[in-house]
Chain A
Amino acid sequence: MGLTSMLHRLAARHAHVLLVETPGHWLTRVAAEHHLLDRGWRLAQSPADADVLAVCGTPGVELATVADRLWQQMPGPRVRIGIESPEQVRHALDIAEADLRDITRQQTDSRVRRGGRGDQTRPDGHPTGGHGPHGDHAKGGDEHAGHAGHAGVAHGDMDMAPAGIPLANRGEDRDGLELDVLHVRLGPVLAYWPAGLVLRCTLSGDVIVDAQASLTDPSHRTPEHDSASRSGRLFAARRCDNAASLLALAGAHDAASGARQVRDILLDPDGAADAPARLARLTRTVRRSWLLRWSLRRLGSLSRSDLVNRDLPDTLEGDAHDRLLGMLDRASRAVAEESSHRATGQPTVPVEAVAELVRGWDLATARLIVASLDLDAAAPAREVSRV
């Protein structure tokens, strides 16, 4: 079986990892991302694409349920790891690779799954009907975990329900066409999405006609892991990470990789001293790309009076492109000053405002707008606990 084991080893060296970030564990997630890309692994975009489920931090009840669902949706061979702190990342990834290669372990896992418990008659049955693959399953009865997508489609019209999924209701979209209305959750686990944020969207076609925003486990809040050491570099790294998300969503892969690398250098205590120069180069590249400007301008424009009305910080003025450049500028300034008085000043965005800003936009645009808000994972939490 030399060939088989060689192939398994080859496969395990190219694993795809689905990261679940518990709010407050940004540093752990970033370290995991850095190390897994470093060893040539890739980030999975959906559970179907994933070999490894990596949960960063200790999730609350709601997020843990979502992680369980994602785990059930993974095709297998599969490995689940929990990473508590940035220091554990390397070790956890080594374990994941070893477990992926362990053929007997994977065979046992597959047998146990097939044996199944009551509701798992289908070995690979996943809750996908009408809703997305990510974390949008906590609605409705959790006792149906892993079963048909009861949560996906509008309830009410239960006359026809193929495979237990009621058909979608109809509604008028913004152009007055009558389209199927789908209820889709965005988050809490989605690539380039702020940790802990959930948007319950009502879609007609791919246009968000209505949305409600919430946070997972609002009562289960671990204090920000890194709050003790809020330095200018950390603040800048956070801005770079958010810029990388926005760039990746806009499809500018090289620029996104560049932003990610600057972020990792900033977080590394003995990181190279050329971080400011690299950041400046990245900013120049982004500023010069007219295609990027063309694709991001006029998205989610906010005037000064909009900001005041919605109680939003004034760093969000302008469109998505302005905000992208703003993130990079703030990062540069924080690195240059190396002081903490500015760094603590990342203002909060009320979570309801996020929902308001995406209403009426299509999914792609909505994702770009959310990413352009430069959210700190913990920021909406404070806001909500105040309400």
Chain B
Amino acid sequence: MRLWAVLALFAACSLLLKFAVFVYMTGDLSPLAFADRICLWDCRWFGKVAQGYEVGLPTNRNGEANWAFFPLYPLLVKAVAMLTMLPWTAAGVLVSQVLGILAAGCARPLFGSQTRAYWLFAFGALLGPFSLLFSMPYSESLFILLTILVLVQLQRGDYLRAGAWAALLSATRVTGVLIGAAIVLQAIIDYRRAGGAWRDLPRSFLSDNRLLLGLALVPLGLLGYMVYLRLWMGDGLAFAHVQVAWGRALDNPFIQFGIALHSGWPFKAHWDPFSTYAVGGLVAVVLTTLVALRGHYAAALFCFIALVLSFSAGLFSSVRFAAGLAPLGLVSAELIARRRWLSWSAYPIGLALGLLVVAGWISGRDFTMV
């Protein structure tokens, strides 16, 4: 109970501080104006999803359409908006903040006895550099929470519940379905740790109905959305095909990575977006390696294939994609918390960076979180 109270306090402070930055920059005291102001880029697309998916050819210049955005998060916000009578953006801020509290609270079992690391993670999630993800109407908030719920169930060896959360994850973002690979890997690791032999593994898995059902549940969210798109507008893969409208085409992720590094080089003191995305991609790869080196193989596999899929469409938004991968945040907190002095200095630095990111976002001139 105390834990949830502290997390709620963190979240309240987070919103108040971000609102204070907004008031300082704009002079506007309206909370609704704040919600509108931080609803930029994809947030507006989520708002359009809440109004319903587009049918027929889009009328904008490049053919961008809201099919690219998975339905679970905007529908959740829409439901809250209808219940509370709040405008969509304000309901989105509220939902994301509550999802942030839930994500931070539900992550507690993943840290075991590492109390210092846990509190650093919780603080970082709600008040740190990327805490904006839990304050603005973006689907990363739901994605992080559901990823954590899957990982917690995997830690308990409950593959059925993990699969159920994963089904929701696959309805949240395109990379969500990839967590099915992590469930399979964790099941193999658990089986081997229990002394199982490789030759008996197929028979053992086929006789484990909870595992099989869990795995069968994983793609349900994605499939539901695909069938909806197929019936509604004739193309079940429209969410992928529409990426061309943003100039994104799937390519070899390693080539894309090379292009991004080349475009961003030399990295500038006053970074431009391309340097930021290149560095963000590099840091994500390093952190994924660290997740694996810390023994979290299933989580590392999920991050790796999610990054490969994301990078195959280019490194644009790499910072946000990396920040949305919960295991990277978990391992960062674990590593920083190994040194007490580093841990304590991370609090004010994380808070300051978080406020800087908010200021950059509100100004519309910073592309870190785009």
A, B: real partners: no
Residues of A whose CB lies within 8 Å of any CB of B are: none
B contact residues vs A (CB 8 Å cutoff): none
